[in-house]
Every structure is written in C-alpha cells, then in structure tokens.
Structure 1
C-alpha cells in the first residue's frame, strides 16, 4: 500500500456521518474518595478561545497551452493558451498569537489563492481577515482581524520539546467545529517527507484530520508547541502520524513578515548531506547525527566564517541537529543578517564558529517576468548556480523542460554563479535564449524562445 502524505485543509463537502448506538451507563463521578479526577478541561477553557476556524473562497485560474493542431485551424490570431477559472471554497484552522493586534497564524496552503477569508471565533463571531504575508516554502501565513476581547495563545520554546511529551491538537476537522484530541510527541526533526520545501516537523499521534491545518499543537500547560500542517494518510484519514511546524520556526517567520512584509530567508552557503552510519565510521565518529558539508559556496556566509568542506555541523545556537534538512530549515527560517553559532566537528575536534547569515535571493513571483517560459518556476542562488527549487505542474517552465533540482549554470556562452548575475544577463538578451543546465552532474542546453 502506497503511503499518502496529506495537507490538512478541507474542501467544503458534506461529510457522511453514521449514528452509532450508545449504551446507557451511570454518570462518571468527578472525584473518587475525595480526590478530583485529572482533566484537561481547565487548560482547554483557557486555550481553545485562541484557536479559530478559517473559511476561504476564491477562484482558481489555470492556464493550458493550446495544441498546435488547433492553432493551425484558427490561423495566426488563435489564442496561445486557454484560461480556465474554477471557484473554490475551503476550511482550515488558525491560532491567535497577538490579541491586541489581531494577528492569526495559519498554513499558507489554507489561504493560498483565496479572495475572501473569514475567521470564526470560539464565541460565535465571524470576522473578515486580511492577509499580511505568507511563506510558501515553510507553509506559514499571517492574517489580521479587527476584533475586541480576543485571546492569544501562550507559547513555549519548541526546542525544549521532547519525545514522549504529552500533546493536544486543537482545530476544525472536516468543518465539524472546534475539536480537541490528545496524544504524545512521537518524534522530532522530521524531514525529507516532500510535503514542504523546508521541513523540520514535530511528529505526533494526536488525532488530526482534514481541516486541522493551521491549528494548534499544545502541551499540557496550553502552550503552543507547533502549527499542525499535514498527516500520513494512506486511506485519506488519520492513522496516528501527524506533523506540526515548530513554534520557534513559526515565530521567526512571523517576525520577519511583520517587520518586512515578507520572509527574508537566511542563507549559510553550504551543500551537503546527512551524517549517516557509513560517513561516521569513515571519519571515526561516535555520533551519527549532524550535517556533513560537501561544498562551501565562495563568498558565502559559511566561507566568510571559516566553515570548510568536510566539516560536520552538529548544532545550531547550542541546539543539536539531526540532519542536513534540519540545518537547512533552521537556517532558512532565521532570517538574513542573523548571527548564528554553529557547533562543528573538524578532524575529530569540536569547534564553535559564528556566522552572519546572508540573504537568499528569490524571484518566485517574478520568474515569469524574466521570461514567459520561466513562469511557474521558483529560483534561488544555489551552490552550483541558479537552483530550480520548484516547478509548478503544467506551467510554462515545466513544459519548457525545467525540473526541480536543475541548476542553471550559464546563459548562451556566459557562465553564471548566482541569481543576480542571471537576472542581469537575461534582461539583456533578445530573441531565443540558451540556458546551460546541470542535471544529475550532466550538462545540457535548454532553449527558451
């Protein structure tokens, strides 16, 4: 059976509910021998007002190229592409993080493409929200509402969360209304799942389902540990494997959105891989957790700080990391210009190196403006040139032959090393452009007309 990873926003479809017989039983006493039974109710009474429902509606626009055979029949004035519009509605959840300013955090995939966003508060009020900013790669969005008597959630240091800690998920599954489930933290630092570009998830077995996206994962004190975002759903339902974006990661992204109106992603400038058993043995190391540095980008933050190829990064600001993906997610969400303390192993010795993160250059929104055939591609400066970090299915970029993981290393006969050089050189070109592509260590040319 193929495992299915599912984001948690729910379309507005009527759920099929089956009534089950209920056996009669005596009322359960609230205390036994004078001792009050343990209950999460007091904590939830304080916490649940901070979790809201998010209802969205809008119009999805899709573009498809008209096949050449049809353009032949309609002549030179035939349309180059067909535009289709389809209305949509959806449901998700959100968490109030600032009661005074009305800030609400949810997932980007909940509100992506929405023209109207309505917030349902726990007291029954419905308020229209405006989008302050969003980050697709980490799947975080910040909304704002104007309302009085709001309750903000308390937050905890998600780096202090441990496997085995009790966890409570609060959200709006299937549009049923606010629902609370409980479990434990099953794992930390989950990555490589292919759900998002930046992954460093808290895994939990608290039951979460479609519609829980953007809801809260809290501890027994009612403090926010993470924002629920996805589940493993081989049959479309919950099987006890859910994922939440850590609160510290959310806070860093939200702070950048509030301050700059966007996420100014930090870049260290290294390429690498996870430290596995074989690598650890080859280097004579006892630890098997960390990020092995294969390559350091010249003039990058890593190069300036003195990080070298062959170094093994084992901690970020004193907190241990398990994988290269975790390193990438932590660095990318910290923000450009932030000073970070990296713990490394070099030639068997432990060292601490401080680096000031550089700024990631990205033209995700403007890729199509650079060239029509780049529309749908996400570009950023990578270790080997301009990296294609994402290609939308059915987009002009996909139809031109670009693939996620490609590196653009040259335009015509001119080599390029970063996004700035790529943009500057591409703006000067007229007519057809030949992109030199590095894919799986093989070079080829792709012609943009």
Structure 2
C-alpha cells in the first residue's frame, strides 16, 4: 500500500461534529431549517440493534524458534580471549533453560452474516498467516474459528464458527446506492476496546488507494483506528455497505480519512469463498492502460474514456475474440467502461465461460465482438499472465545511422543493440538510442533502449517508417501521434504531441 495509507488494523479515528452557523435575522424571522444531524436525532436505537452482530477477532501466530540442540552463533573473538569462554558458557546456560514458544497476537473486527451457519466476514490482513483465530462475541464469549477462504486482492476473508450460543446476523446492503453526504455508522474493536460505535458520512466514492487491482473504496470521516479492520460500515437501515479497511494518514494517526471495501464488491467475493473456498474471477487476457486526451485525439476518439489494450495474452479470451492491441474497450457485457480501472472489476465479476459482447474503438469507429470469459485463477496457475519466454534467434539487420524525430534518435535493431538493451530476439521495430532533454518524448518517459513497434497503429520496421508516419500525421493536422513501445517485454502506448 502506498505511503500514508495504512490498514485499519493499524488505526481509526472520527472527526464528527456538526456546527450550524445562521446569519443574523430579524425578530420576525424565527424559523430556521433543521440540520441533518437534528433530523437523525440519535443513533442509539440502531447501534443497540447492530452491536450483537459485530465481533472482535483475535489471532495468534507462533514466533520462529530455534531447533532443539541449536545454539546461537558465538561472536568471534581473538584466540585465547577471555570473552570467548564467557559467551560460550552464557549461551550454554540459555540453551538448557526450558523457554516457552512466543506467540504474536493481533486484534481486529468482523461481523456475522449468517447466524445459522456461523459465517463471519473480516479483512484478509487481520487473519493472514494466523495459526489460531478466535472470534469474541459482544458478551465476551470466545469461539475458535475456521478459515473458510481469503482473498488478498480485495482484502476479504470468510470465517466459520460452530456454537450453540445464539448469534445475530446483519445483511449486506447496496453500496452503489450510497451517495456522498449519506450518514454511516462504523462499529468495531479499536485498540482492543471492543464494541465501539462511531458515525460520519460518505466523503467520496470509487477511491483508488493502490491497495489492489480492484480498488473501489468508499471514503468516510467516521473514526477508523487500529483494531477496526474488518468491521462493518452500516447505512441507516442497518445494512452493511462497507468493510472498514484502511486510513490515510501522513503520521499514522487518524485524520478523518478512512476507506471501506464496498459491499457490492465484498459480497461477491464472500459468495465465492463460501462456495469454493477461493475466488473464481473472470479473465480477459489483456494488459491495459489509461486513455489520455492525447491518446484519444490520436485515435480519433471524441473524448478520452475506456481502457486501451496495450498487449494480449496469446490464445487468451480476448485474443481468440479478435481484440487487437490498440483497441480501446468502451463497453463490456453491456456495461460502460468510463475509465481503465473499471474494466478489471467488471470482467472479474462476470461468470466463467460466459459469452458476452465487448465493444472496442478501432481505427475511428466502434466495433463489437463476442468474447468467452476465462478464469483468472486458472490463468495464474498456468503462468499465462507472465511475459512470454524468448524463442531464440538472431537479427542480422545491418547497423544504420540514427534518425531524429519527435525528440528521439532511433535506428534499426542490431545484434549489438539487442545485447546492450536486452531486447528479445524476436522483437521487431526500431530502437531508441537517445532522448532529447526537455522534449515531449522525455516528458512521456521514453528512454534509450525502448523499442518502437507501431506508429499511428501501423507497424514500423525501419527508421524511415517512423518518419513517414509522423509526416503523414502532420499533413492530416493531427495534434499528436500514438506510439506502441516495448521496454523489456512491457508494452504500452504513448501519445507524443506533434507541435
């Protein structure tokens, strides 16, 4: 997680206040519109109803221990030093003592979603690597829990407890229905205190904090501190609309910026963990990047939106469907893809082996294809997400003088340049040998050793191909031109301004 963002198993705080300032009025003006806080009145009845469904979670993990007969390494001293005998005798006495194995303990929160079967939801990072998990009910009843399944990509885990003790469950709500400004309650176990209730509002939606590939967090100003991780965030109907997970803080303490996994994402993961013990996500087999205004303009797109396909997995679902590098995915299974990071979530939520329509922007117009969704976990197990291995072979292209354009110097790929820049044997294109300082290419991050594969969505094999494509784009009065660039197997599109 990026600097400044911490799991809520590390902190939680609420800055909740309501101050209503009214302008000066005459004696006749006695009616003042009630504040939202006054309309709510009190959260006491709601909190009393929800508290029994929220649990504390305690985990223990055994600390590493020396094997029997194993002695720590004695510090090295000069031969005959009195310290040598002293430390040897000290370590021998320590070894003879029967020391109990130490255990690391951590605390978190969770909530019961199925009272009959004893299912409890929490964060993955609360129970990760735990040897023993204990669920503590509101009345301090301790119950050993079984880990049903966990998912590191969304930080969700599902536990199961068996008990004759009566349990209270809470339902998932619709997180998509939540609006910025709506009231929420957060209940959890901050700092091990147990059963703490805080209130706040939804501060923002669809936050990306670089915690995982499916970031879509709800942001709140309700207090979230250490121990609140895995606890529920409720709407005023008593439905779980989020799982408290992280805070943003420059210092590590709460500053009123907390993040919760939206329920609509979590409940799909929970359903898969319950059925399979693991997740089964849809997989498209593409590597994507954001569509910038320059990229949109260079491809003749009215406005930047969608996910730009930089490369495809050979024989993956997208490749089999006819998707091409350079396509911009604008719709998937009827759902609009407004920005790049929406596509992975939409695909992940699609059923395995389901045939769905995918709309792409290709060479100035929309094209609709049919794709059969694959399984992400199966692709990971088969190593299909990794870059392809080199196939060998040598390039016999003769060395040529570097050509200048777009603030770049580039030339044909020679065996010497392949070795110098670690270019794959089967890679075709032209290699960048120098980037002019303060040029648009430098601002876009191009470096010596990058291989230009396409210019204007057309393949290039020699420097003359690049210059002719650039000249053609200028004649068409384009403001920028799109390059497909490879850097040690990492493909990406870069739009370079032509001014």
Number of matched pairs: 343
CA contact (8 A) 1:189 1:326 kept: no
TM-score (norm. length: structure 1): 0.66
Q: Deviations over 1:334-388 (max 9, x none)?
A: 5633555656555665676554321224698x9xxxxxxxxxxxx9422xxx2xx
Tell me whether 1:39 sits opposite 2:42 in the alignment.
Answer: yes
Shift of 1:44: 2.4
**Within the alignment, does 1:7 sit opposite 2:7 as a pair?**
yes
1:225 alignment partner in structure 2:
241
> How far apart, CA to CA, are the structure 2 residues paired with 1:97 and 1:60?
32
| Aligned residue in 1 for 2:250 | 234
Q: Does residue 58 of the first structure (1) align with residue 61 of the second (2)?
A: yes
Question: In the aligned structure 2, how far is the partner of 1:52 from the partner of 1:127?
Answer: 11
Matches within 5 A, 1:191-230: 191=208, 193-230=209-246
How many angstroms apart in 1 are the aligned matches of 2:358 and 2:176?
Answer: 16
Query: In the superposition, relative to structure 1, how do residues 114 and 248 fare at CA in structure 2: closer, same or farther (>3 Å)?
Result: same
What is the SS of the residue equivalent to 1:114?
coil
Q: Residue in 2 aligned with 1:167? A: 184
SS in 1 for 2:344: helix
Alignment-derived partner of residue 246 in structure 1:
262
Pairs within 5 Å for 1:320-339: 320-332=336-348, 334=350, 336-338=352-354
Could you tell me which of 183, 189, 203 is aligned with 1:186?
203
In 1, Cα distance between equivalents of 2:290 and 2:231: 31
Rounded to whole Å, the distance in 2 between the matches of 1:362 and 1:86 is 38
2:135 is matched with 119
- How many Å separate the matches in 2 of 1:163 and 1:341? 32
- 1:105 corresponds in structure 2 to 121
* Secondary structure at 2:153 match in 1: coil
* Secondary structure at the counterpart of residue 131 of structure 1: strand
- Partner SS state of residue 154, structure 1: coil
Where do residues 11-90 of structure 1 align in structure 2 (5 Å cutoff)? 38-61=41-64, 87-90=103-106
CA distance in 2, matches of 1:363, 1:89: 36
User: Does the CA-based 8 Å contact 2:54-2:111 persist in structure 1?
Assistant: yes
The answer (yes or no) to whether the contact 2:172–2:267 under 8 Å persists in 1 is no
> 1:274-307, CA deviations, whole angstroms, 9 ceiling, x for partnerless residues?
2333333444545544322223333222234444
Q: Could you state the TM-score of these two structures normalised by the residue count of structure 2?
A: 0.60
How many angstroms does 1:208 deviate by? 0.9
Whether the aligned pair in 1 keeps the contact of 2:313 and 2:384 (CA below 8 Å) is no
Q: Secondary structure at the match of 2:341?
A: helix
- Superposed CA offset, 1:7-26 (max 9, x none): 12259xxx9xxxxxxxxxxx
Measure how far apart 1:206 and its partner are: 1.9
Hey, what's the Cα distance between the residues in 2 that align with 1:101 and 1:437? 56
Larger Cα-atom Rg: 2
1:301 maps to 317
Unaligned ranges ≥5, structure 2: 13-37, 67-74, 76-100, 394-421, 425-448, 451-485, 490-499
* Distance 1:317-1:217 versus aligned 2 partners, 3 A rule: farther
Name stretches of at least 5 consecutive residues in structure 1 with no aligned partner: 16-34, 64-69, 71-84, 367-378, 387-406, 415-435, 445-449
Which structure: greater strand fraction?
A: 1
The Cα shift of 1:181 comes to 1.9
The superposition leaves residues 76-124 of structure 1 with CA deviations (integer Å, 9 ceiling, x where unpaired) of xxxxxxxxx9631000111211111111111111001111111111233
Counterpart in the other structure of 1:274: 290
User: What's the counterpart of residue 409 of structure 1?
Assistant: 389
CA distance in 1, matches of 2:292, 2:329: 13
| C-alpha distance in structure 2 between counterparts of 1:217 and 1:437, whole Å | 50
CA RMSD in angstroms, aligned pairs only: 3.7
Classify the secondary structure of the residue corresponding to 2:260: strand
TM-fit CA distance, 1:185: 2.1
- The question of whether the paired residues in 1 share the 8 Å contact of 2:147 and 2:158 is answered with yes
Matched, 1:255 2:235: no
Partner residue in 1 for 2:329? 313
Take 1:162 and 1:352, find their aligned partners in 2: how far apart are those partners?
A: 33
Q: C-alpha displacement at 1:217, in angstroms?
A: 1.6
